[in-house]
Structure 1
Amino acid sequence: MDPLGAPSQFVNSETLPCWTDAYEDDQVDSSRNQLEKEQDGAASSPFPYRKDINAKVILWKGAVALLNCTAIVNTSNETLTDKNPVSESILMLAGPELQEDLQKLKGCRTGEAKLTKGFNLAARFIIHTVGPKYKPKYRTAAESSLYSCYRNVLQLAKEHAMSSVGFCVIASAKRCYPLEDATHIALRTVRRFLEIHGETIDSVVFAVSEQEEATYKKLLPLYFPRSLEEERRSLAYLPTDIGNADGEPVVPERQIRISEKPGLPDDGSDHELEVDLSFIGSHAFARMEEDVDKQRRLILQGQMSEVALKKQHQRNYNRWLSRARTEDLSDIAALRALYQTGVDNYGRTVMVVVGRNIPVTLIDMEKALLYFIHVMDHIAVKEFVIVYFHTLTSEHNHLDSDFLKKMYDIVDVKYKKNLGALYFVHPTFRSKISTWFFTTFTVSGLKDKVHQVERLQQLFTAIAPEQIDFPPFVLEYDAREYGPYYSSSPSSPAL
């Protein structure tokens, strides 16, 4: 209570529910999910479920100036005179002494953080920072600067042994930073900091408006999943760039290769070292880039280096992956044409493709390719095999060679490297000819990995029956053509 008996307008951060407690209705039985995860070998998120970290995170709808915590964050401009709603409310409640202290700071550069007292605020300190002005043309520079804002604020809090920090949304609307993009950077930077320095801070509060709250609620599960089930669901929605170990944006163009022995071939062997030049920051040298049109001409002339071609291919694949993680592909998923099952005799993940479930003439094949990338990206990081059931397919289910070539050209090199085998089950004479032609003249390096499987009994020499979820019609066809091989049938895939 205030001296005159009126309720205090300030809110004690210690009384606010943490991220997990505030939305506990969304919780899933974690022990059950851990068991399921171990059984099906599901991929782990780079931001795994951590109850201890979630307990330090608070999402609160309200003005950051009203928070009673060790420090709150003020977002301003380079002269610390910005008139945005956050700054104005902090200045009004802190009193005239704050204005005097701000003048002594003599400004603040973009990405930096500076400290003043809280004066009449409930918070003991105010950490002032300057977010970048956003322009699509200089997106990379803006991302790096915004990361620096959050990182430098947290570093100051650590250095001054602050137990709690209240963040406003640093990328203000006046600076034109897209809210969702900015939120990704804010959340992953805080997450990485808590992973490394969590023992130094008790709580981090994200103070947001009503509009901002919706975006934070949407993205918080990606970086702070509240259960193993939420971790699994969120994995598909993470952006392509999740930053380095500190959450800092990764810029491939800032990495150069230095050879210990100049003149040796660029064959990726151990004598080469990777050097990260991200410390250059926003200096003009870091923004220099070769003429894009010249690069295209060199490609056409066959003169661009193999390394440059690989980088271009990787950027192209990353664009497809980004689309795959954001587009609605539920109609393709409903076809049940691609799913993960068990492991083969070598412990490699088995992926099943059901040809009859692909109505080539009725669906958007570009979306089908996006769904393939969406499902396979995390599978292909280690060795895997594909079992393709050609069983009872018709003309409406046949993938033409142009589509297959496009898919083969687009996917990341890890797909080709880690594909151990492709089992073509119940092939027809026509499909055998098409497969031979495709693997001989259209793509290279695939022919030796394709195995024609006339009957399921042959497949079981490589993959045990219990490791495959069979579509019922495949079992029925094989039993009808070649006779049953066991008394009970495996269960059909549950998707």
Structure 2
Amino acid sequence: MDPLGARSQFVEVQNLPTWDQSQGVQDEVDGENQLTEEDDQLTNQLNSFESPFPFRQDINSKIVLFNGDVALLNCTAIVNTSNETLTDKNPVSDSIHRYAGPELRDELLKLKGCRTGEAKMTEGFNLAARFIIHTVGPKYKAKYRTAAESSLYSCYRNVMQLAKEHAMASVGLCVVSTVKRAYPLEDATHIALRTVRRFLENHGENIETVVFAVSDVEEPVYSKLMPLYYPCSKKEEKISLPLLPADIGNTEGEPVVLERQIRIVEKPGNLEEDSADDSLESDLGLVGSHAFARMEGDVDKQRKLILQGQMSEAAQQKQHQRNYSRWLCRARAEDLSDIAALKALYQTGVDLCGRTVMVVVGRNIPVTIIDMEKALLYFIHVMDHITVKEYVMVYFHTLTGEHNHLDTDFLKKLSDVVDAKFQKNLRAFYFVHPTFRTKVSTWFFTTFSVSSLKEKVHHIENLQQLFTCILPEQIDIPPFVLEYDTRVSIQSFTTLQLSIEDKGRYT
């Protein structure tokens, strides 16, 4: 497999420690130390919820985390990240071209480019690797996050597919989508790790080694996230379960958009009469026979203990974190496609400070007819991975009726349940098109219930004010909001003009 005359600086993949060798023993010890008696209770409850990425010794033994130059790996193929014309100048590509020699550039001209998400293969020329797989990562824009996720998934999936089709024993993966393409490193790492994991599970029987080649900047992120997808013990598997993001993709690791999922029921139509008992039992099961239906705890009782001074601050935080983890696990387990279909909560672009913008459309929330607990679960499901960084919320109160108003009890429950990072990393809450009543309600709520939000709430009378904080192209605004804002602006301008004319008439 090795080319003749390989340079001495090339690294033999067989000599690198695999993930189970470098992490397995230490993680077992760490797992023992991390699990206290109180944590055992949560772990026992989580045992009833199967991890989507269970401990697999056979898969871990194929994974290598290598801090170094992918071009130096002596394996069957290495991956080059480039642009659509395969002429990108980035550290990974430059190193590969330097070691491969000028023949590589001539070969790339024959490929006539490569589309985003695709993968094409050339010889390795002077490299130790026999082949180079070239792929093009997406340019990241928060507004088109879903498309970027799908494209990045396709990059890793197509690379692994080529490896399988050509019976490659080992593959060296660089971090696809360079800094120039602005893809957030942590988000990209989640996609890379889970895509490779799913491929090895489903199609990787003949692949012996997959090397994640990373730089000094990338290594800490990979080291932190790899235990989520490649746990080295059963205990680490359980510890990692609450830390998994909400979007773990389908059985192949491909991103799934809840709004596009179709619910399919078995044997639709009227049930036969003799199945009445089974139907009743099934309905009762849906009410909440699963373990997570019994895990919320009494929030009022917890607050009473806190007020009475019977719980320390550390105990309070731990109790709250356990409670949030339970809600998060429920959110990942339940079918929330009916709530997603309302399009009442979605991610758009970024504000002028580069912070993620989340949009809430009040008119799309039929409070009186939907299950508000499921709405809370959906909010947690969508927001969990957003709130790890600074973000802003935009709430469109435009044309919101009585049946759309979120009552104070629900908002209070939401505040009690969500993780501390929701409030900590929220930098601004823009309340668009408020009424006098909502201004008063907001003042009371932020003054007496959630005082930490008081300074973050900003009432926005029109879209022009909003655009001073968030550029128009960075936010998806519902058509009815644009129409309403235009109509009100015209009316305001007309009123002002008439007022000026009246003043001139009397002076």
TM over 0.5: yes
Partners of 2:328 and 2:136 in 1: how far apart?
37
Q: C-alpha offsets along residues 296-342 of structure 1, whole Å, 9 cap, x if unaligned? A: xxxxxxxxxxxxxxxxxxxxxxxxxxxxxxxxxxxxxxxxxxxxxxx
1:52 partnered with 2:68: no
Pairing 1:27-426 to 2, within 5 Å after superposition: 27-28=27-28, 42=47, 43-255=49-261, 270-271=267-268, 351=295, 352-353=297-298, 355=302, 356-359=304-307, 372-378=323-329, 381=333, 408=373, 410-412=375-377
Deviations 1:132-154 (A, max 9, x none): 00011111000000000000000
Corresponding position of 2:19: 19
Distance 1:26 1:37, change over 3 A: farther
Taking the aligned partners of 2:83 and 2:242, their CA distance within structure 1 comes to 36
Mapped partners of 2:151, 2:173: distance in 1: 16
Q: Structure 1 residues 372 and 117 mapped into 2: Cα distance closer, same or farther (>3 Å)?
A: same
Shift in Å at residue 270 of structure 1? 4.1
8 Å contact kept, 1:18–1:56: yes
Q: For 1:165, what is the secondary structure of its paired residue?
A: strand
Q: Would the alpha carbon gap of residues 102 and 368 (structure 1) be closer, same or farther in structure 2, given more than 3 Å must change?
A: same
Distance across 1 between alignment mates of 2:167 and 2:42: 38
Letter in 2 for 1:411: L
Q: For 1:83 and 1:89, how far apart are their aligned partners in 2?
A: 10
Instruction: Flag the 1:252–1:91 CA change in 2: closer, same or farther, 3 A.
Output: same
Q: Give 3-state SS (helix, strand or coil) of 1:74's partner.
A: strand
Shift, 1:109, TM fit: 0.3
Contact 1:113–1:152 under 8 Å retained in 2: yes
Please say if residues 91 and 98 of structure 1, whose CA atoms lie closer than 8 Å, have aligned partners that are also in contact.
Answer: yes
Query: Residue 366 and residue 408 in structure 1: after superposition, are their counterparts in 2 closer, same or farther (change >3 A)?
Result: farther
Moved over 4 A (4+): 1-4, 29-33, 35-41, 346-350, 360-371, 379-382, 406-410
CA distance in 2, matches of 1:119, 1:176: 31
Q: d(CA) in 1 for partners of 2:82 and 2:234?
A: 38
Q: Is the 8 A contact 2:73 2:172 kept in 1?
A: yes
Aligned equivalent of 2:346: none
Distance 1:233 1:39, change over 3 A: closer
Question: 1:93 is matched by which residue type in structure 2?
Answer: Y
For 2:28, the aligned partner's letter is V
- How far, CA to CA, are the matches of 1:233 and 1:79 in structure 2? 44
2-structure distance, mates of 1:366, 1:41: 19
**How far apart in 2 are the matches of 1:100 and 1:88?**
15
**Matched AA of 1:17:** P
Give the aligned residue type for 1:212. E
Residue 376 of structure 2 aligns with an amino acid whose one-letter code is V
Partners of 1:71 and 1:97 in 2: CA distance: 17
- Asked if 2 retains the 8 angstrom alpha-carbon contact of 1:91 and 1:99, the reply is yes
| Paired residue secondary structure (2:172) | strand
State the shift of 1:192 in Å: 0.2
Contact 1:369 1:407 in 2 (8 A): no
Secondary structure of 2:211's partner?
Answer: strand
| Cα distance in 2 between the residues matched to 1:125 and 1:412 | 47
Q: 1:210 to 1:348 in 2, by over 3 A?
A: closer
Using a 3 Å threshold, how does the CA distance of structure 1 residues 257 and 215 change in structure 2: closer, same or farther? closer
Distance 1:2 1:106 in 2: 27
Closer/same/farther in 2, CA of residues 31 and 61 from structure 1, 3 Å limit:
closer
Partners of 1:178 and 1:170 lie apart in 2 by: 11
Q: Where does residue 265 of structure 1 map in the other structure?
A: none
- Distance apart, 1:358 and its partner CA: 3.8
Other structure's SS at 1:199 match: coil
CA distance in 1, matches of 2:147, 2:228: 24
TM-fit CA distance, 1:44? 2.5
State the alpha-carbon separation in 2 of the partners of residues 411 and 240 from structure 1: 14
- Give the TM-score normalised by structure 2: 0.54
Return the alpha-carbon distance in structure 1 between the equivalents of residues 246 and 44 of structure 2: 27
Query: Shift of the alpha carbon at 1:269?
Result: 7.3
Unaligned runs of 5+ in 2: 270-288, 335-370, 381-408, 411-507
Q: In the alignment, is the contact (CA less than 8 A) between 1:80 and 1:107 conserved in 2? A: yes
Residue aligning to 2:462: none
Structure with the larger helix share: 2
Residues 85-117 of structure 1, C-alpha deviation per residue, up to 9 Å, x if partnerless?
A: 000000010011111110110000000000000
1:9 matched to which residue of 2? 9
- Report the residue type matching 2:305 in the other structure: N
Question: Relative to 1, partners in 2 of residues 1:226 and 1:24: Cα closer, same or farther, differing over 3 Å?
Answer: closer
Task: Deviation per CA, 1:222-271: give whole Å up to 9, x if none.
Answer: 0001111111111111111100000000012334579xxxxxxxxx6743
> Offset of 1:84 from its aligned partner?
0.3
Deviation at 1:183, TM superposition (A): 0.2
Count of aligned pairs: 310
User: Percent identity over the alignment?
Assistant: 58
One-letter amino acid matched to 1:372: N
Give 1:30 deviation, angstroms: 12
Mapped to 1, the partners of 2:260 and 2:45 lie a distance apart of 38
Partner of 1:278: none
